[in-house]
């Protein structure tokens, strides 16, 4: 009976597979930190998703939810535009930066002809989104260990490219892009290719933002989020910044009501003057914790190299990362393995936590050494 039932189920699944798009059947989905560690995260030190370790408590009094929100709520546009010093017309509010990556691809790429380009090791959602949308991609690896973008090679390979995604500062390597190279590329690709700069971590090195270029280069798009420095990964709120003309085109593609009223309410609070000061102080705290940790770790024998980081995480190359990962796990410290990426063998990406968490991490790594 039972066996028959299982076989029947298998047959059914097989039949459904016939109508699923092939690229979805073959897709390796994004391996999110929350997916990899979904069990009892309560007693664990979570240094695997570049979240903020600092909790800000918010509540919403907005209980009236019978009406749809505005497509682009003006109040949130007002406060964010003040924060970044651009006009409301330069901003599109999204459900996190991840939705921004998707909307831009759907707006500019025809799966039949167009390709995107990105430079691993980098954020994996550029690849995953392209695969979901059946858009081809060209990979141009960054130069190993310095993680500099190979601009020379990019310039020679622009045929059929519609979008180039850069992550600045880059996840998982933590380095920053050269602004002059970006400007040169923006000029070269004018009216042909969109350059997207993912600034998810820019608050940790805010002087490096390319926001001032938005009204100079119409093929520049910048992505922002409240998930990292603002400590609101659970809120799901991000922003696309571009010139007005681009924003108006993207408005055709985004959902009619992307931002729920409770999200809107909390995002507005997070951007008030008082909370911006708190955010900036939290950024300073994290940067100080990072300095302390890197200084302490520089004497650990199990470490081969600590890569320079301008972010809230640090990429570390170990002599044997499997052993380190295992011991950290046993001590309830969860970090992100990067071993799957061939240029990052024996590397782990470690989010900077509270001072207490940094101390625990250091003592554990010291014991291994
Ligand atoms: C975390 C992260 C994102 C996702 O941001 P959300 O706003 O949470 O969707 C986007 N880009 C990079 C580089 C990230 O590290």
116 CA distance to ligand 1 centroid (A)? Answer: 18
Q: Which of 166, 227, 237, 351 to mutate to test the pocket of ligand 1 (most atoms within 8 A of CB)?
A: 227
pLDDT at 249: 98
Check: CB of residue 268 under 8 Å from CB of residue 79: yes
Look up tokens 């000061």; give the residue: 277
Cβ neighbour number for residue 104 with a 10 Å cutoff: 26
Confidence of residue 193 (pLDDT cuts 50, 70, 90): very high
d(CA 270, CA 268): 5
Reading the block at residue 32, the tokens are 């999110």
Matching residue, tokens 């998703």: 49
Round to whole Å and give the CA distance between 135 and 129: 8
Checking if the pLDDT of 272 tops 90, the result is yes
Between residues 278 and 42, the one the model is more confident about? 278
Residue 12 has pLDDT above 90, yes or no: no
At 270 the pLDDT is 98
Instruction: Work out the angle at residue 243's Cα, subtended by the Cα atoms of residues 242 and 247, and round it to the nearest 5 degrees.
Output: 70
Average pLDDT, the chain: 95
| Beta-carbon-side half-sphere exposure of residue 346 (alpha carbons within 13 Å) | 12
Tell me which residues have their CB closer than 6 angstroms to ligand 1.
50, 96-98, 123, 167, 171, 198, 200, 225, 227, 233, 238
User: Is 0.85 topped by the overall pTM?
Assistant: yes
CA-167 nearest atom, ligand 1: 13
Given this model, what pLDDT does residue 1 score?
A: 61
Q: Provide the β-strand partners of residue 91.
A: 241
Determine the distance separating the centroid of ligand 1 and the alpha carbon of 170, expressed in angstroms. 11
Out of 11-20, 103-112, 325-334, least confident range = 11-20
Q: For a ligand 1 pocket test, name from 225, 235, 236, 315 the mutation site with the most ligand atoms within 8 angstroms of its C-beta.
A: 225
Give the per-residue pLDDT at 38: 65
Identify the DSSP state of 141: P
Select from 168, 151, 154 the least CA-distant residue to 222. Answer: 168
Give percent above pLDDT 90 in the chain: 89
* Residue whose CA lies nearest to ligand 1 atom number 5: 97
Q: How close is the Cα of 226 to the center of ligand 1, in Å?
A: 9
- Would you list the DSSP string of 7-28? HHHHHHHHHHHTTS-HHHHT--
Please write the tens of the pLDDT for every residue from 22-44: 999 999 888 887 777 766 677 89
Average pLDDT over residues 265-274: 97
User: Vertex 155, ends 173 and 127: CA angle to 5°?
Assistant: 45
For residue 86, what pLDDT is reported? 98
In angstroms, the CA 273 to CA 83 distance is 9
Average pLDDT estimate for 275-300: 97
- Return the pLDDT at 369: 77
Domains belonging to the chain, first-starting first, are 31-53+276-368 (3.90.1150.10), 74-274 (3.40.640.10)
Q: Which helix (H) or strand (E) holds 292?
A: helix 273-297
- Give the span between the Cα atoms of 118 and 172, in whole angstroms: 14
Q: Report the separation in Å between the CA atom of 5 and the middle of ligand 1, taken as the mean of its atom positions.
A: 42
User: 198 C-alpha vs ligand 1 centroid, how far in Å?
Assistant: 8
As a whole number of angstroms, the distance between CA 211 and CA 197 comes to 10
- d(C-alpha 46, C-alpha 35), whole Å: 13
Q: How far is CA 168 from CA 113, 126, 133, 191, 200, in A?
A: 27, 14, 24, 22, 8
Residue with CA nearest ligand 1 atom 11? 200
Structure confidence at residue 10 (pLDDT): 73
> How many angstroms from the chain centroid is the CA of residue 110?
24
Q: How many percent of the chain have pLDDT more than 70?
A: 99
């Amino acid at each position: 009976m039972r066996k028959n039932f299982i076989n029947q189920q298998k047959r059914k699944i097989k039949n459904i597979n016939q109508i699923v798009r092939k690229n979805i059947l073959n897709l390796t989905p994004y391996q999110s930190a929350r997916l990899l560690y979904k069990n009892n995260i309560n007693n664990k030190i979570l240094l695997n998703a570049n979240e903020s370790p600092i909790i800000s408590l918010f509540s919403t009094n907005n209980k009236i939810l019978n009406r749809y929100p505005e497509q682009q709520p003006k109040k949130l546009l007002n406060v964010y535009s003040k924060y970044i010093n651009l006009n409301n017309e330069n901003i599109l509010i999204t459900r996190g930066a991840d939705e921004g990556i998707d909307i831009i691809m759907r707006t500019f790429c025809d799966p039949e002809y167009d390709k995107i380009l990105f430079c691993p090791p980098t954020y994996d959602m550029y690849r995953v989104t392209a695969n979901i949308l059946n858009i081809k991609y060209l990979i141009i690896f960054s130069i190993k260990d310095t993680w500099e973008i190979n601009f020379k090679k990019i310039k020679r390979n622009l045929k059929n490219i519609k979008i180039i995604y850069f992550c600045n500062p880059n996840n998982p390597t933590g380095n920053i892009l050269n602004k002059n190279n970006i400007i040169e590329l923006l000029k070269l690709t004018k009216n042909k290719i969109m350059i997207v700069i993912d600034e998810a971590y820019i608050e940790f090195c805010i002087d490096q933002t390319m926001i001032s270029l938005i009204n100079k280069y119409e093929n520049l798009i910048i992505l922002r989020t409240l998930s990292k420095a603002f400590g609101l990964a659970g809120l799901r709120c991000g922003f696309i910044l571009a010139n007005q003309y681009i924003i108006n085109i993207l408005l055709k593609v985004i959902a009619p009501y992307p931002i729920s009223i409770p999200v809107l309410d909390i995002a507005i609070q997070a951007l008030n003057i008082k909370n911006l000061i708190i955010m900036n102080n939290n950024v300073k705290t994290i940067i100080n914790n990072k300095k302390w940790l890197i200084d302490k770790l520089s004497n650990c024998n199990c470490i081969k190299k600590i890569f320079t980081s301008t972010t809230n995480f640090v990429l570390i190359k170990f002599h044997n990362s499997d052993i380190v990962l295992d011991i950290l796990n046993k001590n309830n410290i969860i970090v992100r393995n990067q071993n799957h990426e061939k240029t990052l063998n024996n590397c782990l990406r470690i989010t900077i936590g509270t001072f207490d968490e940094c101390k625990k991490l250091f003592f554990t790594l010291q014991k291994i050494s």
